[in-house]
Amino acid sequence: MKDATVQEKSETNVPTAPAIPALEAAARRLEKQLGGGVVDKHKVIHTYANPAKVVRRWLGTSSGAAGKATVADIAQAADVLLDPNGACAPGRALLVTPGGTTMDLDTTPKDSPQYLSTASSREVESWLLSLNIRILWKEKNFSEALDLAQKSISILLGHLEVASMNLTSLSGVATSSLFPLLARMYRYRSLLAEELKDPSVIAGIRRDMTTAHNMACLRRDVDCQATLLNLMLRDLLIHSQSKR
């Protein structure tokens, strides 16, 4: 009986690992699914033949964590996950200082920050930016949300342009995981423009969607092709109804 009591006490004294925040846990899961976490963090190894499909599924499984996230949660995740000196530095800056306001982050020194590898850092950066856009949308800050969506699209297109310079067989596979996230950004931007009801903004986005759809066709990006085509048809329908 005494031995059992001693065993129970020893079990209760075992330190438990701190819970990982939901956004960070989701990001680390994507890191593994896309082949990250290798010794050389700059090495990109994809364990799936279709990274875009992996990201689509992951977006669905991460919807719970995304739905409960706050601006502070997103900023903290960006601070922990994204290398301030890496390719995702521009997006990280937008997330850590949303609207130009510095967030109150955990500044406890870390021995060796475990930033995401290039296998998933761009995808997580884009995902976190889309979460911030959605929060601004819900708060009816349409103008600010539209501005962030436009900046996010520019960042994503920049990643694609840099990757296209590397004319290897791996480059096309490595960037296809960004296509579902870019399609999401296009959708948010178009719907936010509808909320603002500014004819000049809508006209500018209309021209950009045509160019973006042509580029999506050239790079065989089915996510953006389908999304942009639906958005253009929606815009055409709304425009024709307004003339009646």
Span 196-220, pLDDT tens digits: 989 999 999 999 999 999 999 999 9
Does a structural domain hold residue 175? yes
Q: pLDDT value at position 173?
A: 46
Provide the angle, in degrees to the nearest 10, between the axes of the packed helices 121-138 and 142-164. Answer: 170
29, part of any domain: yes
Q: Domain for residue 195, yes or no?
A: yes
**Which is higher by pLDDT, 175 or 117?**
117
Of the pLDDT bands very low, low, confident and very high (cuts 50, 70, 90), residue 101 is: low
Question: Tell me, what DSSP letter sits at residue 103?
Answer: P
Pick the residue with more confidence: 47 or 223? 223
User: Which has the closest alpha carbon to 81: 26, 136, 42, 33?
Assistant: 26
Structural contact between residues 124 and 81, judged by C-beta atoms closer than 8 angstroms? yes
Which residue range forms the structural domain that includes residue 107? 20-242
pLDDT > 80? residue 59: yes
Number of domains observed in the structure of the chain:
1
The answer to whether residue 13 sits within a structural domain is: no
Query: Is 97 within a domain?
Result: yes
Neighbours of 213 (CB within 10 A): 20
Predicted local confidence at residue 48, as pLDDT: 56
pLDDT at 107 over 80: no
How high is the pLDDT of residue 174? 61
Task: Let me know if residue 166 belongs to a domain.
Answer: yes
Rounded to an integer, what distance in angstroms lies between the CA atom of residue 32 and that of residue 138? 31
**With 70 as the cut, is the pLDDT of residue 53 above it?**
yes
Higher pLDDT, 36 or 76: 76
197 lies in some domain: yes
Whether pLDDT at 37 is above 50 = yes
Decide: 182 and 174 in contact? Cβ < 8 Å. Answer: no
| pLDDT over 50 (residue 46) | no
For residues 100-104, give the mean pLDDT.
59
Q: Which of 220, 237, 230, 244 lies closest to 52 in space, CA to CA?
A: 220
pLDDT band at 164 (very low <50, low <70, confident <90, very high): confident
Residue 52 is assigned to a structural domain of this protein: yes
What integer pLDDT is reported at residue 50 of this predicted model? Answer: 86
The stretches of the chain forming alpha helices (DSSP H) are 2-12, 22-33, 51-61, 63-68, 71-81, 89-96, 121-138, 142-164, 169-176, 179-196, 199-218, 222-242
Average pLDDT, integer, range 168-181: 70
